[in-house]
Structure 1
Amino acid sequence: MNYPRIFADFHNADEQGRLRLNCVGTIEDLSRQNIKLQDGQLLALHDEELEVDGVVQYSEEESLWVAAIDWTQIRQVEDRLVQVTV
C-alpha cells in the first residue's frame, strides 16, 4: 500500500515499542505534506536506511502522537535514484 511517507527516528520508541512522532524530521514532513495526525491513520515511516508501515495512535501517557509498528516487518530502504531523461 502507498501511505504518506514520514520520517521517524527508530531509536525514539516508547515502552510499548511505538515510534514517537515528535522529532524535527517528522514534524517537518507532516507540515510539508499538510498531514494532521489522527487515530488509526496509516503511515509509511522511514529514516535513511529503514522503513515500516505504522498505525497512528495518541499516547495519553506521554501526551503525544506515536505509531504502532510491527518490528519484524521493518525493511531496508531501496536506493531512490532520480533518472533524468535527456
Structure 2
Amino acid sequence: MENLPVTLFADFNNNDREGRLRLNLNGTIKDLEAKGMILSEGLEVILTDGDELSVLATIEFSKSENIWVGKFDDKDVKYL
C-alpha cells in the first residue's frame, strides 16, 4: 500500500520571508494532534486552506523564527 502525504491545514497568507508557509496556527496544530503527528525535516505533506488552495510541501524548520514551515514551489499550487 502506498503511503500518501498527510493533509494539514495552512493559511496561504501566513508565509515567511522565503515564501514558506508557517505551520504555527491553531488549524495546523489541531490537525497534527488529531493525526498524532510530529513534524520532521524533509517530511512531505499536502497543505490546504480547506476551501481554495492546496500544495505538496516539504517540511523544514525555520531557525530564525523557531517554527516549522512548509516549503513549496508556487507553480505547484492547485486551486480546489
Q: State if a TM-score over 0.5 links the two structures.
A: yes
Q: TM-score, normalised by structure 1?
A: 0.86
Q: TM-score, normalised by structure 2?
A: 0.92
1:9 & 1:32 partners in 2: Cα distance?
18
4+ residue runs over 6 A deviation: none
Q: 1:7-50 deviations in whole A, cap 9, x for unaligned?
A: 00000000000000001100000110111000000000001110
Partner of 1:31: 33
Residue 73 (1) aligns with residue 76 (2): yes
Structure whose CA Rg is larger: 1
1:25 & 1:12 partners in 2: Cα distance?
12
3-state SS of paired residue (1:61): coil
3-state SS of paired residue (1:10): coil
Q: Which amino acid aligns with 1:55?
A: T
Q: Which amino acid aligns with 2:78?
A: R
Quick one: which of 45, 48, 53 aligns to 2:47? 45
Q: Unaligned stretches of 5+ in structure 2?
A: none
3-state SS of paired residue (1:31): helix
What's the Cα RMSD here?
Answer: 1.1
3-state SS of paired residue (2:16): coil
Residue 56 (1) aligns with residue 35 (2): no
Partner of 1:16: 18
2:73 & 2:26 partners in 1: Cα distance?
23
Q: Which amino acid aligns with 2:77?
A: I
Q: Which amino acid aligns with 2:7?
A: R
